[in-house]
Amino acid sequence: MSPAGLLTAHRPERVAVVIPAKNEAERIEATIESARRIAGVDLVVVVDDGSTDATSAVAMGADALVVRHKTNRGKAAAMATGAQVIAIREDAERADGGESFSEELHAEPREPGHTGPLPVIDPGESVPRALLFLDADMGGS
């Protein structure tokens, strides 16, 4: 079953999509648009893994939250960065309503800067979020 089929079958209320990408300026917008069509998706995070093209700019133009690695760290590291950003964002939104934090994250791509253990998200605070990882070339799917 496809990722979209799995999500549709279980209907999570909130889904965050992480798209690790390197030099995907030509395809990233279509991939982001495809991700937004998946049931429940309310957040798309693109982790630009050291691109030398306009991947970050195109992703920001498509209204994705963009985090950029200055150098290529590999797909697994990009996926981990995306998951960390979502966890930190969730905690920040619970702590102060999150508007200022979300606005800051959307302002410009930046190097991740979290150190230490990831914050613990209290599942009683809100509806849990499903996390989905997509390849940057899914635009035609």
SS (H, E, C) the chain: CCHHHHHHHHCCCCEEEEEEECCCCCCHHHHHHHHHCCCCEEEEEEEEECCCCCHHHHHHHCCCEEEEECCCCCHHHHHHHHHHHHHHHHHHHHHHCCHHHHHHHHHCCCCCCCCCCCCCCCCCCCCCCEEEECCCCHHHC
pLDDT of residue 2: 60
Residue-wise pLDDT for 60-104, tens only, equals 999 999 999 999 999 999 999 999 999 888 877 666 654 555 455
Q: How crowded is residue 51: how many other Cβ atoms within 10 Å of its Cβ?
A: 23
Cα gap 33→38, rounded to integer Å: 9
Tokens of 112: 């991740």
pLDDT of residue 91: 74
Using CB atoms within 10 A of its CB, is residue 5 exposed (0-12), middle (13-18) or buried (19+)? exposed
pLDDT of residue 3: 56
Cα gap 8→107, rounded to integer Å: 32
The residue that leads in pLDDT, 6 or 115, is 6
Please provide the average confidence, as pLDDT, over all residues in the chain: 78
Residue-wise pLDDT for 13-37, tens only, equals 889 999 999 999 999 999 999 999 9
| 12 pLDDT more than 70 | no
Q: How confident is the model at residue 42 (pLDDT cuts 50, 70, 90)?
A: very high
Cα gap 28→8, rounded to integer Å: 23
Q: How confident is the model at residue 138 (pLDDT cuts 50, 70, 90)?
A: low
What are the extents of the domains in the chain? Answer: 14-116+125-135
| 123 pLDDT more than 50 | no
pLDDT of residue 60: 97
